[in-house]
Amino acid sequence: MGKKTKSIFILAVFSVIIFIGGCESTKPVIQTGSLPQNFVPVKHLVFIGLDGWGGYYVPKANMPTVKRMMANGAWTLRARSVKPSVSWPNWSSIYNGAPPEQRKKEDFPSIFTLLRNNGQANKSAFFHEWDELLKLYNVEAVNIQKIHSDIESAGKIASYIKEQKPVFIAMDFDEPDTTGHRIGWGSKAYFTKLEEMEKIIAVIEQAVKDAGIYDSTVFVMSADHGGVFKGHGGYFPRQYSIPMIFYGSGIKEGFKITSRVNIYDITPTMATLLGMEIPKEWTGRILYEVFK
């Protein structure tokens, strides 16, 4: 066996080991923990999603707003995306509160379903860049607007926040995934793009302050997957490890989440923060440990 062939064989075996060890359990999660006795639902929640934002790349990134929120909030850089680490299964898992294999019926409830059923849809918005996300169930119940990963779109979102003071607003940007595919995860261009996305996040945070709702808002930030070299979809930690950050009203400060956290835990936690009842179909875990 030649040196090159041997290396490929070892890599293949290693990938199989990671695949077997990384497969997710399909058993429903039993909720443990409870809300603090003094818990009061937040009045506003802002979700910011960056496509391809790998948790491994956060420490080196020049993102002062994000790192301040981490220092004064609850966070992990090792939350797990579902496998394979590609966009649609993960974005849909975020908004549907369960991994794909547990969403059997077509009308599986999403966070948008809850907003509609709780009479909050007209006070909520979804800003998207990837059109495939419009397939999310009941997304049409809220205000839908198209954006791009640029400062102009940040201004568009900021204006909406200041004018409407939404109960719930979610936004998903295509970057830094596009730069990762084009030039590479961990490249200089990738970190430059993260710096640009930081500026967008700062504009959004300032808009919440300008709207006068900062003290009654929770920010949640995460991603669909990470990446390595110029791709993702595999079973290596840099591909499936993502940041998950909670910051704001009623959230612990300087709290590093050390328990295992999955991408589909985001929406049950957001819904609980907003005081909404969790559907029985959701198998994601409410992250009670982040509540103050």
CATH number for the domain spanning 149: value is: 3.40.720.10
Domain boundaries, position 256? 63-282
pLDDT for 24: 47
Residues of the chain with pLDDT under 70: 1-30
Q: Is 138 left (phi over 0), alpha (psi -120 to 50) or beta?
A: left
Residue 101: inside a domain, yes or no? Answer: yes
Distance of alpha carbon 143 from the chain centroid: 20
pLDDT in tens, 200-216: 999 999 999 999 999 99
Distance of alpha carbon 173 from alpha carbon 13, whole angstroms: 35
Question: Does the pTM exceed 0.85?
Answer: yes
pLDDT for 236: 92
Distance of alpha carbon 183 from alpha carbon 230, whole angstroms: 7
Q: What's the structural domain count of the chain?
A: 1
Residue entry with tokens 């967008």: 200
pLDDT in tens, 112-123: 999 999 999 999
Burial (CB count within 10 angstroms: exposed 0-12, middle 13-18, buried 19+), residue 98: buried
Residue 239: inside a domain, yes or no? Answer: yes
Q: Are 79 and 242 in contact (CB under 8 A)?
A: yes
pLDDT for 163: 98
Q: Are 81 and 243 in contact (CB under 8 A)?
A: no
Residue 12: inside a domain, yes or no? Answer: no
pLDDT for 8: 33
Single-letter code of the amino acid located at 277:
E
Q: Rounded to the nearest 5 degrees, what angle is found at the Cα of 290, between the Cα atoms of 286 and 292?
A: 120
Residue 10: inside a domain, yes or no? Answer: no
Residue 222: inside a domain, yes or no? Answer: yes
Residue 41: inside a domain, yes or no? Answer: no
Q: Are 127 and 174 in contact (CB under 8 A)?
A: no
pLDDT for 3: 36
Q: How many CB atoms lie within 10 A of CB 13?
A: 10
Residue 48: inside a domain, yes or no? Answer: no
pLDDT for 118: 97
Residue 30: inside a domain, yes or no? Answer: no
Single-letter code of the amino acid located at 227:
G
Distance of alpha carbon 204 from alpha carbon 155, whole angstroms: 8
First vs last Cα of the chain: how many Å apart?
A: 58
